[in-house]
Structure 1
C-alpha cells in the first residue's frame, strides 16, 4: 500500500472556523483521514502583532508536522495564510501547504454593480497581500475592506451555544453596504472561515440582498487537486478523525460540536517550540 494513503490531511485554523473547510473536504476526499487543529491557545489572532504571530505559526507547525506526519496542511485561516504562508513553505520545504486568501478575483468577475466589500479580520484587511490581490484582480471595481474585530468570536459562540447577538452582527456588517451613484454593493467576500457559520444571520440583518462569497469549497477543491485519491482497493481501515486544540482543553459543549463534525477530541496541548 502507498504509505501516502495512510497519512492524514491536516486542516488548521485559529479556532473552529475551519470546520467549514473540513466539511467540504470530506465530501471531496471521503476516504482520507483528517486531523483538525484549532490554535485556541492563540485565538484571536487579531490581538497579535505580526512578527510574534508569524514566529508562533512557524514553530507550531513544526510540532504538528512532527506529531501527525500529514500528507499536506490546509491553512483554513485568512490571517495565518496571508501572514505566514511563505514563511511556512520556506521553513518546511518538503511539506505541501494550501493557503486561504480572500476571494477577490471571483468577486470582481461576478459583480454587476462594481461595488464589492471584503469582510475580514483587521489583520487580513491591513495586510499588503490583500491589497496586492485587489491591485491584481479588481482594478475595475471599487473594493471596500471592512475589518471586523468581534465577528469571528461571535461565530465561535454561536457554534458552541446556538445563540448570537443579531444587533452585534448587524453592526459588524453594516460598513460593507455602500450606495454610490445609484449603485449598491452586490457582493460581500467572507474573508474569514468563521463567518459562514453566521451567514444566515448576516442575510437577515442586511439592508439589501447581496451575494455572500464563501471560499470553503474552493479551498477543499485545491486540496483535492494536490492530495492523491485513495482507491477502493487501497482504502485503509477507517480511523476516527481527530481534533487537536493547542490549549489541550475543550469543554463539553465544544466536544459535542466536534462529535457533530465526526471528530474525536485528542487530549493534550501542542506547544510551539
Structure 2
C-alpha cells in the first residue's frame, strides 16, 4: 500500500486543499489532520506555536510516514515551515503562502488586497513576497481575527454573522485615482468556504483568489504518480485526525462529504 499524503491545518480550512488535491492525485490515499485543540492559531505566541507544530509533526510523521506533508495553513507554514524542514529533512513538505505573485500578474488596476489572519499579516515572509513579486502594485494587508471561526461555523451549518463578515472584508476595497481593488487574495485556507458570502456582501465585484488549486498542482509536482491502489480503495474513506479528540455527529456528517472518517 502506498504512503498517504498528509494534509494539515489548524481546523477545517485545509479541506479546500484536500478537495483540489483529490482531483489531481486521485490514486493516492490521504490523511487529514486538524490541530483543533490549538484553534485559532492567531491566539498563540509565535515561539510557542512554532514549537507545538514541530513537536506535533514528530508524532504525525512517525504514525503515518507520509509521501508528503502539506501545510494547508498560511499561518502555520509562514511561521514554522523552515523549522519543520530543518527538523524532518527526510519529509517532503508542501507549504501554503499568500498568492501574491499570481495576484500581481493578474491585476488590471494595480490595487491588490490580501485577506489573511493577523499572524500572516504580521509575518516578514508575507512582506518579502510583496517586495519580491508585487513591487509595482499597491498591496493592502487585511488581517481578520474572526473569519476563520466564521468559516468553521458555516461548515458545521451554524449561523454566521453577515454584518461581522462585511466589517472584516470592507478594508479590502480600496479606491484611488479612479482605480479600484480588483483582486483579493484569500490568504487563509478557511476563507474560500466564505467566498459566496464575500461575493454577496462585496461593494463591487473582485477576483477572490483561492490558492487551493495551485497548492494541489505543487503536490502533483513533488509526489510521484502511483498506480491505482485497489486495496486502499476498498478501505473506504480516508482518516481524519482531530487533535482535540472531538467526535461530534455534525462533524462526522461534514467529513463524510469530503470522503473522510474520524
TM over 0.5: yes
Number of aligned residues: 260
**What is the CA–CA distance in structure 2 between the aligned matches of 1:141 and 1:228, rounded to whole Å?**
37
Aligned to 2:190: 194
Please say if residues 71 and 95 of structure 2, whose CA atoms lie closer than 8 Å, have aligned partners that are also in contact.
Answer: yes
1:133 match: secondary structure? helix
- Give 1:236 deviation, angstroms: 4.1
Task: Write out per-residue CA displacement over residues 179-233 of structure 1, whole angstroms, 9 at most, x where no aligned residue.
Answer: 011110000000000000010000000000000000001001100111111124x
Q: TM-score, normalised by structure 2?
A: 0.97
Aligned to 2:61: 65
Please say if residues 186 and 208 of structure 2, whose CA atoms lie closer than 8 Å, have aligned partners that are also in contact.
Answer: yes
Structural mapping, 1:44-83, within 5 Å: 44-83=40-79
Please say if residues 12 and 73 of structure 1, whose CA atoms lie closer than 8 Å, have aligned partners that are also in contact.
Answer: yes
Aligned to 2:136: 140
Divergent runs of 4+, >6 A: none
Task: Write out per-residue CA displacement over residues 129-178 of structure 1, whole angstroms, 9 at most, x where no aligned residue.
Answer: 00000000000000000000100000000000153221111011000000
- Give 1:249 deviation, angstroms: 1.0
**What is the CA–CA distance in structure 2 between the aligned matches of 1:237 and 1:75, rounded to whole Å?**
23
Please say if residues 15 and 40 of structure 1, whose CA atoms lie closer than 8 Å, have aligned partners that are also in contact.
Answer: yes
Aligned to 1:250: 247
- Give 1:97 deviation, angstroms: 0.2
Aligned to 1:121: 117
1:237 match: secondary structure? helix
Please say if residues 29 and 232 of structure 2, whose CA atoms lie closer than 8 Å, have aligned partners that are also in contact.
Answer: no
1:41 match: secondary structure? helix
**What is the CA–CA distance in structure 2 between the aligned matches of 1:113 and 1:162, rounded to whole Å?**
37
The one of 23, 32, 39 aligned to 1:36: 32
Structural mapping, 1:95-110, within 5 Å: 95-110=91-106
**What is the CA–CA distance in structure 1 between the aligned matches of 2:190 and 2:93, rounded to whole Å?**
20
- Give 1:36 deviation, angstroms: 0.1
**What is the CA–CA distance in structure 2 between the aligned matches of 1:244 and 1:85, rounded to whole Å?**
21
Aligned to 1:271: none
**What is the CA–CA distance in structure 1 between the aligned matches of 2:25 and 2:176, rounded to whole Å?**
44
Please say if residues 31 and 235 of structure 1, whose CA atoms lie closer than 8 Å, have aligned partners that are also in contact.
Answer: no
- Give 1:235 deviation, angstroms: 5.0
Alignment of 1:154 onto 2:150: yes
The one of 10, 15, 20 aligned to 1:19: 15
1:168 match: secondary structure? helix
Please say if residues 186 and 211 of structure 1, whose CA atoms lie closer than 8 Å, have aligned partners that are also in contact.
Answer: yes
* Gap regions ≥5 residues in structure 1: 266-273
* Gap regions ≥5 residues in structure 2: none
Aligned-CA RMSD value: 1.0
